[in-house]
Chains A and B, each alone.
Chain A
Amino acid sequence: MNLGEINPILLIASLMVAATPLLLAAIGELVVEKAGVLNLGVEGMMIVGAISGFAVSVETGSPWLGFVAAAIGGALLSLLFVLLTQFALANQVASGLALTLFGLGLSALLGQSYVGIKPPSMGDIHIPVLSDLPVIGPILFQHDPILYVGIALTAGVWAMLKYTRAGLILRAVGENHDAAHALGYKVIRIRILAILFGGACAGLGGAYISLIRVPQWTEGMTAGVGWIALALVVFASWKPWRALLGAYLFGGITVLQLNLQAAGVAIPVEYLAMSPYIITILVLVILSADKSRAPASLGRIFHASH
């Protein structure tokens, strides 16, 4: 065992990388839930995003196109959720589960010929001066571009929900869909857009795992990240910046346990590997006392009789 081998600067830098897939998926789901829809299919949309991003970037050689494809792939899968919950008025919990089961199968099918291939690398950004700063440089300014997209997305969603008319309407639909409908807002249309946005974000998060974090394709590689992202939305009590904080916290735990595994701590590998899941449960327990922040129409079916 050698804890001295753990480099705190690298640890924090890799924490941000580990947190990004979670953050992307959680921000998407946050918007969906703010619109009053509970989509439990995050895991499925992530894994489909992971393979579509991987396949396209391998075929075209461009990781950028890969990420675009991942967003489209995630959104396409969420379209199935739209059909089920917004048009067929199916139960959202069951539909979300269906999405995850279907997505896991579909991704395995699509990914058969991509096992063991290395995807093209995106490369890290380099800003003169800033990236060369000691300590701060490697932590903040030497990452891949998508990591900054994640942070920008958080800021964008926060500003949209707080300051814009569109954000206000979205929240109104999530809080009371009958009242929003009575005011003349297109509840279904707004929810569809939110669900598609959530799907695209989850897809990006998945592709981040397969293209940057790992980078490789293996079946079921998201390994519960989508579910942790769902927990993260509760943790954040539906606030974007708290989602960022939460993602870094979970990213930190993941990276720390990996580092401890590598350093050969006396705790068996399996127990370290289960720690992120156990901590997710603990956090959920601590935060579940406060239910007041959840959008009031969350998970309820909207059907306008007139």
Chain B
Amino acid sequence: MIVLEKRPQPSKAWSYATPLVAVVATMVFGGLLFAILGKNPVEAIGTIFWEPLFGEFSFYYRPQLLVKGAPLVLIAIGLSLGFRAGIWNIGAEGQYIMGAIFGAGVGLAFYPLDAWYIFPLMVLAGAFGGWIWAMIPAFLKVRFGTNEILVSLMLVYVAEQLLASVSLGLLKNPEGFGFPGSRNLQSYDAAHNAELIAGSGMHWGVVAAFVAVIFAYVLLNRHMLGFHIRLTGEAPRAAKFAGVNPPRLILFCLGVSGALAGLAGMFEVSGPSGVVSIDFNVGYGFTAIIVAFLGRLHPIGILLAGGLMALTYIGGEIAQSQLGLPAAAIQVFQGMLLFFLLAFDLLTNYRIRAARSEVA
């Protein structure tokens, strides 16, 4: 008989090791899945993890890592603050959409003016769009005690409908021959989130992601507010005695995560995507939840996890075109990762012992 014995303190070693163990387990079971689908598992896993980094066309794929990783890291950093304090914002997808709508809306309002201040204004508008969308569950939770999980999630569907509405109406390209979707911001220089160094994939969103990582690190390790966030998650009762103000914490955590998700959406719509369209959002807001957990809710961890998840996105696309691996298989693969991570986390908090048979 096997019994679990709670560790007096979470194991440091295992907390670093579990993400790696989870990745390995996902590769094994993912490989099995690919084998069931009739693909060579070694080849498929190799294509996903090797090809984008060191393959023949890696000069093209490496910049893509930054492009795909930046929104994931940006959103996940925000989510991790709340998750640490037990505040569950799972509507980042909606906040991402709202950031894109607000940011693009401001940019398009100035069209075709060419001025230096347009892009900074768009950045502010994007952050504001995400922030205000996250303030809805935050305010309702603080004022009425409404469950933020359900409210933030419901707002994703509302945001998707708003996105459809503006791409068919308000923000539709007047010269688009009646097709849905806005003007392409990539061809409007003052509003274009262009690559800072051509061909590097480095755009302002990537810069913002790195800045967010540093800020989150400083906040959590050197700031009273960060201490309060950690305390609330780890010892809610102690947090009360330490004078934590829960409503303030809720407003802060949801607000920051909303603003960061909004920024991610804004940088995406003004850069890699270029247009506000019905299918603008591709699920970064949900994948970022996996990234946050895979990174152990730690800023540096999230940075690494974001990179890894971006790798599975790009590698997945390559595997799709080269091996005919279905897109959904990659989604399953990413979901598996979260499963194994949560399962192996047991080892961080508990010791597994073989029970001696005792006589009571």
Please give the residue numbers on chain A whose beta carbons come within 8 Å of chain B beta carbons, in ascending order.
Answer: 40, 80, 83-84, 88-91, 93-95, 97-98, 101-106, 108-109, 112, 219, 223-224, 227-228, 230-231, 234, 268, 270-271, 273-274, 277-278, 280-281, 284-285, 288-289, 291, 303, 305
Contacts and interface: CB of A to CB of B under 8 A. Distances in A.
Nearest to A103: B335
B161 A289 contact: no
B4 A109 contact: no
B332 A105 contact: yes
Nearest to B140: A285
A304 B168 CA distance: 57
B227 interface: no
A271 B157 CA distance: 11
Interface of B: 4, 6, 88, 90, 136, 140, 144-147, 149-151, 153-158, 161-162, 164-165, 168-169, 286, 289-290, 293, 326-336, 338-339, 342-346, 349-350
Contacts of B330: 105
Contacts of A88: 342-346
A184 to B, nearest CB: 14
B331 A108 contact: yes
Contact of B162 (A230, A231, A270): A270
Contacts of A274: 157-158, 161-162
Given A101-B334, A270-B162, 7 more contacts: A93-B149, A97-B338, A112-B326, A234-B147, A273-B161, A281-B150, A291-B145
A139 to B, nearest CB: 29
A270 B350 CA distance: 49
B39 to A, nearest CB: 13
Nearest to A40: B149
B150 A280 contact: yes
Contacts of A101: 286, 289-290, 331, 334-335, 338
Nearest to B153: A227
B293 to A, nearest CB: 6
B335 A106 contact: yes
A288 B145 contact: yes
A280 B146 CA distance: 11
A54 to B, nearest CB: 15
> Among A234, A268, A270, which residue has the most Cβ atoms of chain B within 10 A?
A270
29 contacts: A84-B342, A88-B345, A90-B346, A94-B293, A101-B289, A101-B334, A101-B335, A102-B335, A104-B331, A105-B331, A105-B333, A106-B328, A108-B327, A109-B328, A109-B329, A109-B331, A224-B154, A224-B157, A270-B165, A270-B168, A271-B161, A277-B157, A277-B158, A281-B146, A284-B150, A284-B151, A285-B146, A303-B4, A305-B6
B127 to A, nearest CB: 23
Contacts of B136: 281
A277 B343 CA distance: 32
Contact of A285 (B144, B326, B336): B144
Contacts of A227: 150, 153-154
A104 B335 CA distance: 9
A268 B151 CA distance: 23
Nearest to B290: A101
A34 B140 CA distance: 25
Contact of B146 (A93, A104, A112, A284): A284
Contacts of A84: 339, 342-343
Contact of B289 (A97, A108, A288): A97
Nearest to B158: A274
Nearest to A223: B157
Nearest to B165: A270
Contacts of A280: 150, 154
Contacts of B334: 101, 105
Contacts of B158: 274, 277-278
A192 to B, nearest CB: 16
Given A270-B162, A277-B154, A288-B144, A98 B6 contact: no
B328 A268 contact: no
A89 B350 contact: yes
Given A101-B290, A277-B155, A288 B146 contact: yes
Contacts of A223: 157
Given A101-B286, A109-B328, A303-B4, A83 B343 contact: yes
B332 A106 contact: yes
A102 B328 CA distance: 10
B162 A95 contact: no
A80 B339 contact: yes
A95 to B, nearest CB: 6
Nearest to B156: A224
Given A285-B146, A289-B144, A94 B157 contact: no
A94 B342 contact: yes
A243 B120 CA distance: 49
B339 A102 contact: yes
Contacts of A95: 342
A253 B166 CA distance: 24
B36 to A, nearest CB: 10
A245 to B, nearest CB: 19
Nearest to B345: A90
A107 to B, nearest CB: 8
> Among A40, A109, A289, which residue has the most Cβ atoms of chain B within 10 A?
A109
A108 to B, nearest CB: 4
A89 B88 contact: no
